[in-house]
Structure 1
Amino acid sequence: MAKLVVFGGTGYAGGRIGAEAVRRGHEVVGVARNPGSAPEGVDEREGSLHDEEFVAGLAKDADVFVVATPARAIDGKKLIDAVPSLARIARENGVRLSFVGGAASLLVAEGGPRLFDTPEFPDEYKDEAGSHAEVLGLLREQPEDLDWFYVSPAAEFGAWTPGERRGEFRLGGDVLVTDENGKSHIGGDDFAIAYVDEIEQPKHRRARFTVAY
């Protein structure tokens, strides 16, 4: 059994990852700025990943940090601002660091542009998408002794399209995964299954992978 600390534990992705981990018998601490809606079985805490003392305290008996928060600026702080301290604390305590990323930094084809570099990508999502891409870039620059992974969901992923639990999906690397109709999508529960699978049986050390049907 592992102990997970999920930052963004009441959000769409973080809540489902926490619930899936609890279902499998893991211990889960869910961190949120405004607690009150964590899944059953999750030990909910109020706090911020930008609070280094708070994060360091959680790291002392944690196995995995799951960062499932928006990447854009919130209250003047972006996710990337917390990455150096998260990485340092994780290294010092032997914690595996993981992130729920975005799909927009995936390539649309081998050697092709990133999704958010295509003309069709909506301007209103570029701030969040670009901020997630910056986080991935900074992770790749971290010292070799930091164990991390970063999961990009399919292009269609979120509370607006939760889908039904199938228990099956496909994994990819840095290229967007689509189905036979050209659609890239994944339900919340199946994304969480893939995420917790990686925690239980690591196959993507210091790497990004993607999940889609």
Structure 2
Amino acid sequence: MSRITVIGGTGYAGSAIVAEAAARGHDVTVLSRSLPAEGVPGVTYVQGDAADEAALSSVISGAEVVVGALAPRGPLAESFRDVYRSIARLADTNGARLYLVGGFSSLRPAAGAPRFVTDLSHAPAEFHHEIRAGAAVVIEDLPATPESLNWVFVSPAGGFGSYAPGERRGEYRLGGDIAVQPDGGGEISGVDYALGFVDLIEKGDHHRAHVNLAY
């Protein structure tokens, strides 16, 4: 059993990861701006702002694994990368492994090919800032962290999101920074993304790595 802190654990991806980790017997703490109407039994929920370093420190202290499940929109539209830099620094200071929920556009269609984020003509303009901010975390920010920080950035398939929750199949495919399903982005349900995500945490065999989960 691991002590896992999930930052943003009431959103779509975060809540699925929380439920999966708790079901496996892990000691899970969640930090979120608002508390859920009905939480997962056995999970400790802490209401707080991820942009508040004191709040972050209080839930990261003592954690063995820190999960970041934040999105670069709303209150975090401009501070998203700064918040993740703080989370990474605190995780490193506390000797915790860091796992981040990523986006599809940071992946590549093939070895040596540019990342999808380099051409966003397929995406509505209002999402470009959000996509670029998310990709910059794994392209620029995480590689710049100290080697002592063990991070894993977990991108889902392109068709991942609350708009297409899907059902549990109990399966997934794992790839590196080359998309498992590059054509059209593929799909994976929230619960099966969480299945793969918690498997990564439990196996612990990726170090400073960008991976992706899809069917």
- Measured against the shorter chain, the TM-score band is over 0.9
Q: Give the letter for the 2:169 counterpart.
A: R
Offset of 1:116 from its aligned partner? 2.9
Task: Provide Cα deviations, 1:67-99, integer angstroms capped at 9, x if missing partner.
Answer: 101024626642211233222211221111121
Could you say which residue in structure 1 is the equivalent of 2:177?
A: 174
Structure 2 partner of 1:121: 123
Instruction: Kindly provide the amino acid, as one letter, of the partner of residue 190 in structure 1.
Output: D
Residue 71 of structure 2 corresponds to residue 108 of structure 1: no
CA distance in 2, matches of 1:117, 1:123: 14
Work out whether residues 6 and 67 of structure 1, in 8 Å CA contact, stay in contact via their aligned partners in 2: yes
Aligned-partner SS, 2:99: strand
Of 193, 196, 206, 2:195 maps to 193
**Cα distance, 1:25 vs. partner?**
0.3
Q: Deviations over 1:120-148 (max 9, x none)?
A: 23323211110011111200111100111
> Quick one: percent identity of the two aligned structures?
42
1:64 corresponds in structure 2 to 65
Q: Please tell me whether residue 30 in structure 1 is matched to residue 30 in structure 2.
A: yes
The answer (yes or no) to whether the contact 2:32–2:50 under 8 Å persists in 1 is: no
Provide, for residues 88-111 of structure 1, a one-character-per-residue CA deviation record: whole Å limited to 9, x for no partner: 211221111121011111112222
Change (3 A) 1:45 1:206: same
> What is the letter of the counterpart of residue 78 of structure 1?
S
Residue 7 of structure 2 corresponds to 7
Between stretches 56-65 and 23-32, larger displacement belongs to: 56-65
Counterpart amino acid of 2:22? V
The 4+ residue runs of structure 1 with deviation greater than 3 A are none
Bigger CA drift: 35-44 or 196-205?
Answer: 35-44
Contact 1:73/1:79 (<8 A) preserved: no
Match of 1:86? 87
* Aligned residue number for residue 75 of structure 2: 74
Mapped partners of 1:160, 1:91: distance in 2: 34
Tell me, in whole angstroms, the C-alpha distance in 1 between the residues paired with 2:179 and 2:77: 31
Question: 5+ unaligned residues in a row in structure 1: which ranges?
Answer: none
Matched residues in 2 for 1:132 and 1:81: separation?
A: 12
> How many residues of Structure 1 are paired with residues of Structure 2 in the alignment?
212
Task: State yes or no: 1:98 paired with 2:99.
Answer: yes
Give the Cα–Cα distance (whole angstroms) in 2 for the partners of residues 23 and 67 of structure 1.
19
Which sits farther off after the overlay, 34-43 or 134-143? 34-43
Q: With structure 2 as the length reference, what TM-score do the two structures score?
A: 0.91
Q: Secondary structure at the match of 1:74?
A: helix
> In structure 1, the residue corresponding to 2:72 is in which secondary structure?
coil
Q: 1:133 to 1:76 in 2, by over 3 A?
A: closer
Q: 1:155 is matched with which residue? A: 158
Structure 2 unaligned regions, length at least 5? none
Deviation at 1:186, TM superposition (A): 0.6
Deviation (angstroms), 1:51: 1.4
